[in-house]
Every structure is written in C-alpha cells, then in structure tokens.
C-alpha cells in the first residue's frame, strides 16, 4: 500500500481481467478505518492491519464482490455496506450489515450518493477529510481513462441502452459536487485518482457526458 493523501492509502494495483486495472482505498481515521471498494490481494489485508485494520467497507457496486470480502471481515470484524438493489450479489460472499437506497450521511463524514446507470446499485461516496479536503469515490460510474480524462461507465454491448440516460442523470448530479480529489475504482490510465484545481470538476464531467450521449 502507498499513501496518496494524508489519510488515504491506495492498495497495490491489480488486474482482474485483461484491460481492467483497479485499486481500493483505505481512509484512515480515529473512529475506525473505512475501506472503499475491494482488493483481491491478500497481503494487502495484513498491511491494512498495520494501519489499524478495517472497521467498515463500502462497495460502490456489485463488480467489487470477491472472496476477500469474507477474509477482511474475518480478520477485522468489518461491517460491509452497499446498495440494497445489489444485496443478493454481495450476499454470494457475505450479506452486508449496512444497506442504503438514498442519499444520506454515514459515520459523520461520508455522504452516500446513489448513482445508478453502470449498475442498478452503483453508488458514489463524498468524504469530508479532517485535513480539509473533500474526496469523491466514483466507483465505475465515472472512471479515469487512458488519456487522463474521465469517462462514464457505460459499456457498449454490455450496458442496456436505457442505462445511458440513467447514467447521464447520475453524472449531472455528480457535476454539482465540489471535490478536491476524485478516486475511481477501475481505471485505464496511469493513475486511478486525480487532484483537482478549483472549478475544474464540472468541465471534466461535461466532457464525459458529451461522450456518453454522442
């Protein structure tokens, strides 16, 4: 793991299948660490232990389900959180203790923002860091592409055509946020996150929207 923000640690990159690369991110905090997304690297679980373990794990969508969900729970007693629409997908490994289906605040610092389109339960998380920064975890709703821009998680041949407008509405919602750093789950470029200049985010989302609706 490597530290990429004062209170954010990034897991070692992995490639579940050719063309896809992913990271998970550990938000280190006094009231219990939070892991966003999931990692398949078992050795990273021990590295998380050295950072205080994992009190909560928040999944952005069903594609992050893997056997390590159970291993992380067994190691730390982690409480799993995910969208109610994908509860059955999560339960293939273990049922989540925390379910949500609307925009709401968790743990005093995490805003849960459902953003369907990539999958029915796709969800983003906006985190207020005590270090004065706002982190946005977009899952695969928006992901970092090979040229360093951002792309909507609509997959031709896999996503249903009706998902296009659903995803567009989710992007319009994300455009209204004001993050300082954005972290996707999957990514195609050199890094899965980007630090933003003030006012930069709406333009990045607009370009992703234009490409989605073209």
Quick: pLDDT tens for 30-72: 999 999 999 989 999 999 999 999 999 999 998 888 899 999 9
Residue 137 — very low, low, confident or very high, per pLDDT cuts 50/70/90? Answer: very high
- CA distances from residue 104 to 36, 55, 123, 124, 155 in whole angstroms, order as listed: 17, 19, 11, 11, 28
Query: What sections of the chain are H helices per DSSP?
Result: 42-50, 68-76, 87-91, 163-175, 201-213
Give the pLDDT of residue 110: 97
In this structure, what are the phi and psi dihedrals at residue 58, rounded to the nearest 5 degrees? -110, 120
| Domain that includes residue 168, residue range | 2-213
Q: What is the pLDDT of residues 13-32, one digit of tens each?
A: 887 666 678 889 999 999 99
**Number of structural domains found in the chain:** 1
Q: How large a percentage of the chain has pLDDT more than 70? A: 98
Question: Minimal CA–CA distance to 101: which of 87, 83, 115, 88?
Answer: 83
What is the pLDDT at residue 214? 85
Tell whether pTM > 0.75: yes
pLDDT at 19: 65
| CATH code for the domain in which residue 60 is found | 3.60.15.10
Task: Report the chain's C-alpha Rg in angstroms.
Answer: 16
């Amino acid at each position: 793991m490597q530290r990429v923000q004062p209170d954010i640690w990034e897991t070692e990159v992995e490639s579940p299948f050719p063309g896809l690369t992913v990271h998970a991110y550990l938000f280190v905090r006094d009231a219990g660490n939070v892991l966003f997304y999931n990692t398949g690297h078992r050795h990273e679980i021990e590295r998380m232990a050295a950072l205080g373990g994992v009190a909560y794990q928040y999944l952005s969508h069903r594609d992050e389900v893997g056997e390590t969900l159970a291993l992380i729970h067994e190691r730390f007693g982690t409480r799993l959180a995910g969208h109610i629409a994908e509860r059955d997908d999560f339960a293939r490994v273990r049922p989540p203790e925390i379910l949500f289906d609307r925009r709401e605040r968790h743990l005093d610092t995490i805003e849960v923002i459902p953003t369907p389109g990539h999958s029915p339960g796709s969800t983003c998380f906006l985190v207020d860091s005590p270090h004065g920064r706002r982190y946005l975890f977009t899952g695969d709703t928006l992901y970092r592409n090979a040229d360093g821009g951002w792309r909507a998680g609509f997959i031709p041949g896999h996503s249903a055509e009706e998902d296009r407008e659903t995803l567009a509405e989710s992007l319009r919602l994300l455009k209204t946020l004001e993050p300082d750093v954005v972290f996707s789950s999957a990514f195609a470029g050199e890094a899965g996150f980007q630090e933003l200049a003030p006012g930069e985010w709406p333009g990045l989302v607009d370009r992703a929207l234009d490409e989605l609706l073209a």
